[in-house]
Amino acid sequence: MRVPDSVLVTGGAGFIGSHATRYFDNLGSAVTALDNLSRTETLASTSVSRDTAGYNWTYLREHHPNVTLIEGDIRDFDLLKEVVQNQDAVIHTAGQVAVTASLEDPRTDFEVNARGTFNVLEAARQAEVNPAVVMASTNKVYGDNVNRIPVRERKTRYEFGDPEYKAGVPETLSVDDCEHTPYGTSKLAGNLYVQDYAARGIVDAAAFRMSCIFGPHQFGSEDQGWVAHFVISAIKDELLTVFGDGKQVRDVLYIDDLLRAYHAFLADPVGKSAIYNIGGGPSHTTSLLELLDLIETVYGLSPSVEFANWREGDQRVYISDISRVNAELNWEPTINLDTGIRQFIDWYQNR
């Protein structure tokens, strides 16, 4: 695949952003990472010991000296316009990342996710070159319509009860006439701008509506990054809170597989869709209870667990239909949950 000559990664100190920075630096792109390093300030459940941004910023500085690191904010349009100039590609991962934080402070959530994404697209539109843009989005854009899909309850998980969704949730699921959280709404607004700019041929852009992405360099918390949060809590023998009954199901995707999809779009973005659902798909799923059992039976780690009420905006089942990304980008997941967790544990214990 064609490798972009230069890449800007917004949110470059975050979990996905730092991996994208490393990925394209290793391929030889001239990479610039932009981040405001605000994670521990915006997520109440994130302690200093789990400061993903702080850890990754230091890691990039020490291990990827060719990367240009800029401490800045996507809400600063003048700065963004300056750093987007002459970029071959933009990977937009900066954002407010948690439903819980959006409920407490919806204005900041809007400013970062909706206006911030608009700023990225406008900066790309005004650039002298024509950078392609990838936006890291979320399945939360579908709101409560996901919970309107009938489900069946099994011993350790829920599953979709409607055969129409055997392959998962497609990009065509309605986003209308249902309850949304501020987080889902702000990300959806960004998605709509991506689709508009792409449809009018202004910017070659795509929003990837992600399910659960996991891997090394992610510390996780109750608010975001639940796979990492569960594993770290087990390793450190910390009390773990499960919201709901633990039977909720997600498809999980290892970070390296996600980056291959981003690369596939950026290598040849012309004529591609502007929206992709992406995750592990039906063959890479787990419930919370099943993950806890895997952590205990395979790795011998048994965290203390307490249960609490369901949280607003939670979905009993979400599985991505990855048919579109498979067909258009010739992509499919290659790393299963067990392999991914082994690699995560190796990183965490040896970091």
Q: Are strands 317-318 and 249-254 parallel, antiparallel or unpaired?
A: parallel
pLDDT given for residue 50 in this prediction: 65
**Residues 99 and 313: beta-carbon distance below 8 Å:** yes
Q: From CA 26, how far away is CA 4, in angstroms rounded?
A: 12
Under 8 Å CB-to-CB from 66, ≥6 apart: which residues?
25, 30, 31
pLDDT given for residue 38 in this prediction: 85
Active site residues per annotation = 183
Question: Mean pLDDT by 10-residue block, N- to C-terminus, for the chain (351 residues)?
Answer: 97 97 98 88 52 94 98 98 97 95 96 98 97 97 96 97 98 97 97 98 98 95 87 92 96 98 98 98 98 90 91 90 98 96 94 87
- Domains in the chain: boundaries: 6-148+163-218+254-282+319-335
Q: From CA 101, how far away is CA 240, in angstroms rounded?
A: 19
pLDDT given for residue 313 in this prediction: 73
Angle, vertex CA 71, rays to CA 139 and CA 21, nearest 5: 55
pLDDT given for residue 231 in this prediction: 94
Q: From CA 189, how far away is CA 145, in angstroms rounded?
A: 17
Q: From CA 151, how far away is CA 161, in angstroms rounded?
A: 4
pLDDT given for residue 301 in this prediction: 86
Q: Which fold would CATH assign to domain 6-148+163-218+254-282+319-335?
A: Rossmann fold (3.40.50)
Residue type, position 178, single letter: C
pLDDT given for residue 240 in this prediction: 92
pLDDT given for residue 322 in this prediction: 98
